[in-house]
Structure 1
């Protein structure tokens, strides 16, 4: 029992040795819990028309609703929605899109990268040339083209983000697999008659995962930012499935009139989410460094 717990304790000791990383982890945990429990934490369901009153439109932070039953701590938008509630729901959608697209892209890229690194030859050339072509274009351009062809929606933007991300994992997994492929334990597994699938899953995969975990953590933040950009441009999520980017876009036209809170607070929420994920990912990069594991 103690031997099995030792790696976990060592990981936790290294990870929480940094105050910045600990702060990022706590902030990220709060954000994730807020996203998970948004329906229960929100003072109002901001997308239920029965809960909205046009007379509450564009109220500044701290104002009370016309019926006196609700205080809008962060103000309201042009439709009378409570900004705090809208942000909690927006975080939920943004985080879901970022995590889902990253997980799917990781699975696809890891599979193709391991296959390319182990098989070599034409298989490797084909997979890597496709990855090179994909990486030669700006990610936002690929996403814009795909969304212009397919339209808006959570599922469609996840597909667009997967198309943008998978090549990063494929190249990293292929590089790690090439290093491991030359080692003696892989030759021994081949001599013993193990199938290629078993060798890749039981031997190559565990040794290729650490760098991919770090990239995945960083790509979650990147996916959230890209989705916010696309939604801000009107090509991401529809108004019925709001994200932080869409909330920022809704208030952009009111910035010059002094109604800053409609865009400002969703922007702060987006910034804190991306910063927290990057702080955790940066510490993961150090903790998963093989040289640190030997200490």
Structure 2
């Protein structure tokens, strides 16, 4: 800093030399705190890898396991690392139809991740909107919405989903609809709790005094301040939705046979476990477990980063 020259007022002028100071924005602080956890970074890397494999499955999978022209029934239930009749090496073995398990897992990830993420996004939109409405409107509106939430949460999620799919039947869209119905209440309760606190803040009172439209106050001012807990719940619910879809498919009420998921792959090999053909269910189960754990690792650390009360 230099004060060699004096202005007319007699006060020295200060000149800052060197590199400009970097301003720490909330986003930079969030990224810095998130990457401090090695487990969270590991979970994020594994999840990104799973999503990449799912998206590129048609291009990198050794075989399209659901193209009948590429299957050989004589290769059914081959052990991992065995060379098939056509000279093709099945690194993770085959199922009872001669389908390559490695390819089946890659294609199964596509369905599991799509159903989990799709249902979580729709449930978040529905639940968050109802939660914001309940908190802002109050009165009878709040009472009706929260009684619906209590009613929904009183049923076990898997039981409710089974009842819905027993009525609707199999299909990816029906599974997504069933998961949305059993998941939206979690988002509504979380958003309502946060919105009730934010609704008493001065900026909401100022917006009301300016006679801003209700929809603008809710979605422009109230919703952004409810995003941190919503992001955490959404991350956890994606993992939960994937697990629920796998359970439904394992029980035979999930996706159809022509559109495989990891749960359906596990179900296909269940009856062969006692005969020693473990790989038909084992490897899809490992892929499902690793995917769910990676999402939970990310979500658990997001909870710590986005909740100041949990910071040490």
Same fold by TM-score greater than 0.5: yes
- The aligned counterpart of 2:123 is 105
1:26 corresponds in structure 2 to 45
Q: Does 1:76 align with 2:94?
A: yes
Which residue in 1 is equivalent to 2:143? 125
Q: What residue number does 2:299 align with?
A: 281
Q: Give yes or no for the alignment of 1:155 onto 2:167.
A: no
1:60-99 to 2 correspondences below 5 Å: 60-68=79-87, 70-99=88-117
Aligned residue for 2:11? none
Task: Identify, as 1 or 2, the structure richer in helix.
Answer: 1
Query: What is residue 48 of structure 1 aligned with on the other side?
Result: 67
Partners in 1 of 2:127 and 2:171 — Cα distance? 23
Q: Deviations over 1:239-267 (max 9, x none)?
A: 01110000000000000101100000000
2:14 matched residue in structure 1? none
Range 267-276 or range 21-30, more displaced: 21-30
The alpha-carbon deviation at position 291 of structure 1 amounts to: 5.1
CA distance in 1: counterparts of 2:227 and 2:51, whole angstroms: 24
Give the secondary-structure state (helix, strand or coil) at the position aligned to 2:25.
helix
Match of 2:31?
12
Distance of aligned partners of 1:174 and 1:83 in 2 relative to their CA distance in 1, 3 Å threshold: same
Q: Within 1, Cα distance between the matches of 2:240 and 2:302? A: 16
Name the CA shift for 1:210/1:79 in 2 (closer, same or farther; >3 Å): same
Q: Of 138, 151, 155, which aligns to 2:156?
A: 138
2:115 aligned counterpart, secondary structure:
helix
- In 2, Cα distance between equivalents of 1:131 and 1:121: 16
Q: Give unpaired runs (5+ residues) of structure 1.
A: none
Larger Rg computed on CA atoms: 2
TM-score normalised over the length of structure 2: 0.91
Number of aligned residues: 293
Residue 13 of structure 1 and its aligned partner are, at CA, apart by 1.1
Residue 188 of structure 1: CA displacement? 1.0
CA shift in 2, pair 1:78/1:29, >3 Å: same
Match among 168, 174, 192 for residue 210 of structure 2: 192
How well do the aligned residues superpose, as a CA RMSD in angstroms? 1.6
2:54 aligned to which of 22, 35, 41: 35
Matches within 5 A, 1:214-233: 214-233=232-251
- After superposition, the Cα gap between the structure-2 partners of 1:81 and 1:120, relative to the gap in structure 1 and judged at 3 Å, is same
Instruction: Work out which of the residue numbers 49, 57, 67 in structure 1 matches 2:76.
Output: 57
Task: Give the structure 2 partner of residue 272 of structure 1.
Answer: 290
SS at match of 1:255: coil
**Where does structure 2 lack aligned partners over 5 or more consecutive residues?**
1-20
Q: Secondary structure at the match of 1:124?
A: helix
Structure 1: how far apart are the matches of 2:129 and 2:171?
27
After superposition, the C-alpha distances for 1:19-64 in whole angstroms (9 at most, x for unaligned) are 1111111111111111111111100000000000011100000011
Cα distance in 2, alignment partners of residues 273 and 125 from structure 1: 38
Partners of 2:305 and 2:120 in 1: how far apart? 21
Q: Tell me which moved more, 12-21 or 96-105.
A: 12-21
TM-superposed CA distance for 1:79, in Å, is 0.3
